[in-house]
Structure 1
């Protein structure tokens, strides 16, 4: 039995920006949720972007979007390099105003709004390209996974670390034609496979949620989502590696320009993607494994469900919020 003297004291750290970020993701979630099930993913995404950008005007930071909606000439707001916040500490911002636009449009689970925050220069700067990803949860030996090894080797090492059979493991990946070989080899090794139609931030985070049943995430998806997932994995003490995937030399050169002289073709460790103290915040749009979706209640209230994570303290906070609004038209 623990004694009072053996219990670790509660750690009080500096200012927590989690609540400020929650207001940003809540605003985006409420705005996009009005389009749930309407089959219009672009309208849902546009509503989320507009609401998130407006909400950032209330956050006391000097923020620069490093992972956003694309290059300046591709996105009207929340573009890479845009300044956000109303003044304060210099911070890097990574956003996905609506992860799972198709999920929202089709009223399917796991659509979320996401923001991550780090000190200036601590997030990976990369163009909007694909990234190969490999992730596992906490409590495992350091450097357990290897993105350059086969999936069979990674499954075998993970099973050994978890003291279980490969057949007890579940791999999560996006359901894409490019992942057919990954899925086939995973099944041949004896593990289970869970496929997602969209939303690989939630898929990566699921490796750190015991109730999700996901042991390993693998496959390629957006590099912006990779950085956001890395921020969450930092807070949850999991492991993750990445590799940027280039279609041509121009993309590789653009990545070099954004990487401050570092080789963008290298294998990315977790801290290459998200370093230093980081915050991660997400709000559910449609209910899923991680968060409940937006609910319209009686008496002009909207209910949201959010999670706020902080790497410095390891704190994870879930928040149910009731927003008083005017009746829906």
Structure 2
């Protein structure tokens, strides 16, 4: 079986498993279904192995898809092993409440090429291939966008940004220089797919660091460009009770990896592999990626994959009866999470 088809099917089946719980206002059920589906698909595949680098957490807090877990053909010493970053549901809140913003996503690269990212905040700028030579976060986001506007000789660039209080001033500044701003509640990985698909020129915002690995993979795989910078917890939440403890944990990670809060991280710093691959499937999706649908015993899934500068938007139909007869591994997921 072609490895890319297996990985594509994994995110599609993860999306299928969540369908039962979309809109039920339970983020844990949504995530649990997708996690189990991904592990079922990936753990028994032959001829290759995957090492989880960025997953659901450490072993003591995540029994499945935890950092360091090996999936796939683990009994075969000749099976090639790859790094894996995975977010079974990027956007559990929109999936649980049934609004746009959720996908299942994975990134795969050569062994020991992915940086294990902490549960921290990260400033991220993801731009289309048109502007890949024109970004430098050291200048500050507004100066970067002005450079991009000057290069393409138009002000009305399209931006996607998380609608958060921390972005209020940036949103106002972007609008003031002529940028068309589209605000979203969740899902900067999904927003980056929109950039690749030509629905926006760039994504900017401060969000989760682990998702940065997925976005870096997408940038590398599609020919786009991403830069990022870790942001201290106290910059976002200066007065919270847990801020002091969070800062101790963050500073320990920063010291270990010789990275500070001023370091600009390129996409290839997060995933050092020009052949990285990215896969996603829409759950509630949004933008250029449509949500999953179900009708008369069939699931309709819209997925996306990118590698080697090639981006593919894929529509798949899963006929439950036929799949159950031919794929016992998937049947176990269908039986547990059937409509």
Q: Give the structure-2-normalised TM-score.
A: 0.84
Q: Size of the alignment, in residue pairs?
A: 304
**What stretches of structure 1 move > 3 A for 4+ residues in a row?**
326-329
Matches within 5 A, 1:46-195: 46-60=32-46, 61-87=48-74, 88-140=79-131, 142=133, 144-164=134-154, 166=155, 168-195=156-183
Confirm or deny that 1:244 pairs with 2:246: no
**Contact preservation (8 Å) 1:127, 1:255:** no
What is the CA distance between 1:123 and its match in structure 2? 1.3
Separation (CA, whole Å) in 2 of partners of 1:141 and 1:109 = 28
Confirm or deny that 1:31 pairs with 2:26: no
Q: Which has the higher helix share?
A: 2
What is the CA distance between 1:208 and its match in structure 2? 2.4
Aligned to 1:8: none
Aligned to 2:332: none
Query: 302, 318, 321: which one pairs with 1:323?
Result: 318
Aligned to 1:283: 281
**Contact preservation (8 Å) 1:125, 1:255:** no
1:136-155: CA deviations, max 9, x gaps?
1013362x112122332112
**Contact preservation (8 Å) 1:136, 1:216:** yes
What is the CA distance between 1:197 and its match in structure 2? 0.3
Deviates more, 1:132-141 or 1:243-252: 243-252
Separation (CA, whole Å) in 1 of partners of 2:7 and 2:254 = 28
Q: Secondary structure at the match of 1:302?
A: strand
**Contact preservation (8 Å) 2:191, 2:287:** no
**Contact preservation (8 Å) 1:29, 1:283:** yes
What is the CA distance between 1:255 and its match in structure 2? 4.5
**Contact preservation (8 Å) 1:133, 1:147:** no
What is the CA distance between 1:16 and its match in structure 2? 5.6
Q: Secondary structure at the match of 2:82?
A: strand
Q: Secondary structure at the match of 2:130?
A: coil
Separation (CA, whole Å) in 1 of partners of 2:228 and 2:207 = 10
Separation (CA, whole Å) in 1 of partners of 2:288 and 2:71 = 27
Confirm or deny that 1:231 pairs with 2:217: yes
Q: Secondary structure at the match of 2:251?
A: helix
Deviates more, 1:238-247 or 1:193-202: 238-247
What is the CA distance between 1:264 and its match in structure 2? 5.1
1:248-279: CA deviations, max 9, x gaps?
1422323444x4xx435421011001221111
Cα RMSD of the aligned pairs, angstroms, is 2.0
C-alpha spacing 1:20/1:256, structure 2 compared with 1 (3 Å): farther
Q: Which runs of 5+ in 2 are unaligned?
A: 234-246, 322-334
